[in-house]
Amino acid sequence: MLHMVIMRHSPESCPGRPENQNVVACVNKMQELTAERNIKTVGSWADPPAHVNYLLVDAPSAHVVQAVLMESGVSAYASTEVHPVISIGDSSS
């Protein structure tokens, strides 16, 4: 099932800031966990001025996605939303 993950962080916790390497470590851990939990990344986008990231994943459930966000530590630096989504006009999804 497809899930749109929206992650918002503050300018102070932005992973683009050199002093925030701990955030980058959490993102790297999140990528490791997604591979372990059979979560496939379909696409990802960033809106740097708004400090928002979008991640489209194919995962067994929203609960699995949320668990990865919590376990990786990302949720300590960003507010997250996980929305189950479908492709419009594609009967295979």
pLDDT tens readout for residues 65-91: 999 999 999 999 999 999 999 988 765
Average pLDDT over residues 1-27: 91
Instruction: Please list the alpha-helical segments (H only) found in the chain.
Output: 21-36, 62-72
Is 45 among the domain residues?
yes
Q: Quick check: is 90 in a domain?
A: no
- Tell me whether residue 68 is in a domain: yes
Phi-psi category of 68—alpha, beta or left, where left has phi over 0 and alpha has psi -120 to 50?
alpha
Is 18 a member of any domain? yes
Averaged over 7-31, what is the pLDDT?
90
Q: In sequence order, which residues have a C-beta less than 8 Å from that of residue 34 and are 6 or more positions away? A: 40, 41, 57, 68
- Whether the per-residue pLDDT at 53 is higher than 60: the answer is yes
Residue 20: its pLDDT value, please?
A: 84
Decide the pairing of beta strands 2-9 and 78-85.
antiparallel
* Enclosing domain of residue 6: 2-85
Residue 93: inside a domain, yes or no?
A: no
Distance CA 23, CA 43 (A): 20
Q: Check which CATH number belongs to the domain holding 77 and give it.
A: 3.30.70.1060
Which residue has better confidence, 89 or 14? 14
